[in-house]
Chains A and B, each alone.
Chain A
Amino acid sequence: MVCSIYHTATDLSMKKYTLKKPKGELHLVSPARFRIDYKNELNPAQYAAVTSVNGPHLIVAGAGTGKTRTIVYRVAYLVELGVKPEHILLLTFTRKASQEMLRRAAVLLDYRCEKVSGGTFHSFANSTLRKHANLLGYERSFTILDQGDAEDVVNLIRTRLKLDTRERRFPKKETLYDLYSRSINTVTPVSNLLSIDYPHYRELEEDIAKVHTVYDEYKKSHNLMDYDDLLVNLMRLLQQHEPVRAELSNRYKYIMVDEFQDTNKLQAEIVRLLAYKHTNVMVVGDDSQSIYSFRGATIRNILDFPEQFPDCKIITLEENYRSTQAILNVANEILKRALD
């Protein structure tokens, strides 16, 4: 008896146990116990994307390659791994898209997936700003101006300032609003846009800037935001209020962005700010499908992502589940002839 106790003690003393800081790898639930057979239900590239957890990732998903499926499975995977759904943020191009993805993830795994925060950049900005509006000098009950309303306000200011005279033509409300909006979304000074698109209005630069300033003041004093304000104000909130930035970055530990090829510079900056504590960002998109530059989207976001997040891992999805090979051949050929 004594002898055996003695032996066990020696065995223990031979094995050293030391305490280490956790590396952030989350295997709270062992993958062996997962309910979904990820490896069998996904192709190898999809599987690699779905099971990538920490750090920045870029998923280049060609048309029809099961991009939605991949996002749905990744949400389920994170939740199975033990990540709290509230700690996942899924940003999509339309709100319907995120609702649909989370619903599918819930069917795949369970109800927890519906608790993931999902929406568009604008709807996410809206709900965040409702909570923190006072920090930016707004009331929580601010209302949102659509494009038509915004143009009307610009027109009102233009008329009030008496800038349009018989002797001098002044840009119309649509032109002004387009200038302001593009300037914000592309982070380009109005004066640059003027020289490119409306060189004949260049000498009116000062007055055009004046209308812009008054327009901004007007919105603020009437508790109004246009679409661009939602993004700009969210960005300011994150930049200027460290506690809010920290709170949000701690809450959204895993960020996923769909259709990254159609995001604009502000949106990319918002992603960067939200992820500053952990850089757990997975962006999904297809540079070949970037088609929204007229709304300020820039293909550079997806192309420059690896420079923005230097240790980023790139995974490319190329197996198409939608079209016949005959159709894909034409599509491939169209791309192949693009300028390099």
Chain B
Amino acid sequence: MRHKYTKVLYTHKSEGSLPQLIIAENENSQSKFVVQKILELREEGVPLEDIAVLFRSSFLSFDLEIELAKANIPFLKFGGFKFIETAHVKDMIAYLRVLENPRDVVAWNRILLLIDGVGPRTAEKIIDDILHRRAERPSSPFWEQYNSYTANVKELFEVMKSIASEKYPPAEKASRITTYYHPMFKKRYDDYTKRKKDLEMFEQIAARYSDVGTLLADLALEPPNESIADVTPPGIDDEYLTLSTIHSAKGLEWNSVFLIYALDGRFPTSRAVNDLDEMEEERRLMYVACTRAKEHLFITYPINVYDRETGTILTKPSRFLEGLDEKLLEPWVIGEE
């Protein structure tokens, strides 16, 4: 059985400066070093778009995110929560799903439970009604004969009826739904002002489509990457730094790449150490991380990190880097002035 295809990468580009392996005495000193180095690179003319900070797992960048915010460095993070997975966007999508597939019980349940005075039991009853009528008369639209419901539920059916026709483009349907949904949305989410941007973005996305079916399929299959509510600092049109898990950095490249938390137990994660296959996959992840960099590669790791999983203190660099020739990977320690 074949185990791998051997290849040795070479280039006609210049030798370049040596990648560095940098020890930080703790997590925060790692973050502060990265922030300072990013500012230096920028001074030297490397724009923020051409710099990325990569990590093995999404939670490893939390401390850095705080330091970046303090230093006013705008960034986008990839590999966290996705736009489509946020509750308010899922609500919006559910309305459209019901229009497209009236048998979509999951979506029905979601939008019925949003209504004041509708609990799981009422929702189930209404859904049964709808399915029942549909089975009897498949051609008649689901919004007919809803008179027996309470005023709140009736309102939902009226809204659906008013936008059901195919002559309304998806953007118009989305906009009508936003208006209807808004009071419930405000009540449900304390941070609704922040989330509101996602609804605007949803309408913008909808405007690119001419039918709801394609819009829904695309959203489900290829969701936009990040929720605006999750993204820190200013307007997204401005210059920004990339923070990303290695998985989400697949296929991309930057002039300068920082790999943080290259700490054995974090990368590879302590969960993987007992499984040979998982271990080899961790190694490939390290390879993917390093090959994202064009000119500068800074690999950092903090020491004195407590690992709850194993109850030990993590102090060593990733085993994939440990013992690498100093002529290949230059070791450094962060000093304070």
Partners in one complex: yes
A residues near B (Cβ < 8 Å) are: 60, 62-65, 93-97, 120, 122-123, 126, 130, 139, 141-146, 148-149, 152-153, 221-224, 259, 287-293, 302-304, 306, 314, 316, 318-335, 337-340
For the A-B complex, the count of residue pairs with Cβ-Cβ distances under 8 Å equals 197
Q: Which of A120, A319, A330 contacts B328 (CB 8 A)?
A: A330
From residue A313, how far is it (CB to closest CB) to chain B in Å? Answer: 13
User: In the complex, given contacts A288-B4, A332-B9, what are 20 additional A-B residue pairs having Cβ atoms less than 8 angstroms apart?
Assistant: A143-B97, A143-B216, A152-B106, A224-B106, A259-B250, A291-B246, A291-B281, A291-B284, A291-B285, A303-B4, A314-B5, A323-B16, A324-B16, A325-B11, A325-B13, A326-B16, A328-B9, A330-B329, A333-B324, A335-B287
Across the interface, which residues of B come within 8 angstroms of A326, CB to CB?
15-19, 328
Which residues 90-109 of B sit at the A interface, judged by CB distance below 8 A?
Answer: 90, 97, 100-101, 103-107, 109
CA separation between A259 and B11, bound complex, in Å? 22
Q: Is B48 in contact with chain A by the CB < 8 A criterion?
A: no
Give me the 6 closest cross-chain CB pairs, A-B, nearest first: A324-B16, A63-B291, A144-B220, A143-B101, A326-B16, A95-B222
Check B286–A325 contact: CB distance below 8 A: no
Shortest C-beta distance, A260 to chain B (Å), equals 12
Q: Are B107 and A143 in contact (CB under 8 A)?
A: yes
Select the residue from B247, B284, B321 with max chain A CB neighbours within 10 A: B284
Instruction: Say if the beta carbon of B295 comes within 8 Å of chain A.
Output: yes
Residue of B13, B103, B320 near A323 (CB, 8 A) is B13
Q: Are B11 and A145 in contact (CB under 8 A)?
A: no
A322 to B250, CA, bound (A): 14
CB contacts under 8 Å to A, within B1-30, are 1-5, 7-19
> Of all chain B residues, which has the CB nearest A337?
B320
Residue of B nearest to A293 (CB): B281
Q: Which of B299-337 contact A (CB under 8 A)?
A: 320-321, 324-325, 328-329
Residue of B nearest to A97 (CB): B251
Q: Are B11 and A319 in contact (CB under 8 A)?
A: yes
Q: Give chain A residues whose Cβ lies under 8 Å from the Cβ of B18.
A: 326
> Whole-angstrom distance between the alpha carbons of A153 and B110 in the complex?
12
CB-defined contacts of B9 to chain A, threshold 8 Å: 62-65, 318-320, 323, 328, 331-332
Give the Cβ gap from B125 to chain A, nearest Cβ, in Å: 15
CB-CB nearest in chain A for B138: A139
Instruction: Give the CA-CA distance A314 to B2 in the complex, in Å.
Output: 13
Given A130, A223, A327, which contacts B101 in the complex, CB threshold below 8 Å?
A223
Residues in A with CB closer than 8 Å to B276 are: 339
Chain B proximity of A178: nearest CB distance (Å): 15
Measured between alpha carbons, how far is A286 from B291 in the docked complex, in Å? Answer: 13
A144 to B290, CA, bound (A): 36
Residues in chain B near residue A321, CB distance under 8 A: 11, 13
| B253 with A64: CB separation less than 8 A | yes
Closest residue on chain A to residue B96 by CB atoms: A143
Known contacts: A97-B251, A152-B106. The answer to whether A331 contacts B222 by CB under 8 A is: no
Residues of chain B lying within 8 A (CB to CB) of residue A322: 11, 253, 291, 294
Q: List 5 A-B contacts (CB under 8 A).
A: A139-B101, A222-B106, A322-B291, A328-B10, A328-B11
Query: Do A141 and B324 touch across chains, with their CB atoms under 8 A apart?
Result: no
Q: Report the minimum CB–CB distance from A285 to chain B (whole Å).
A: 10
CB pair A289–B250 under 8 Å, yes or no, is yes
B2 touches A338 (CB 8 A): no
Tell me if B141 counts as interface (CB < 8 A to partner A). no
Task: Using known A-B contacts A123-B222, A144-B217, A288-B284, determine if residue A324 contacts B101 with beta carbons closer than 8 Å.
Answer: no
Nearest CB of chain B from residue A216's CB, rounded to whole Å: 15
Contact B4 A325 (CB under 8 A): no
A325–B14 CB distance below 8 A: yes
Instruction: State how many angstroms separate the Cβ of A330 from the closest Cβ of chain B.
Output: 5
Q: Does B151 contact A (CB under 8 A)?
A: no
Chain B, residues 69-112, CB within 8 Å of chain A (1/0): the string is 00000000000000011000010000001001101111101000
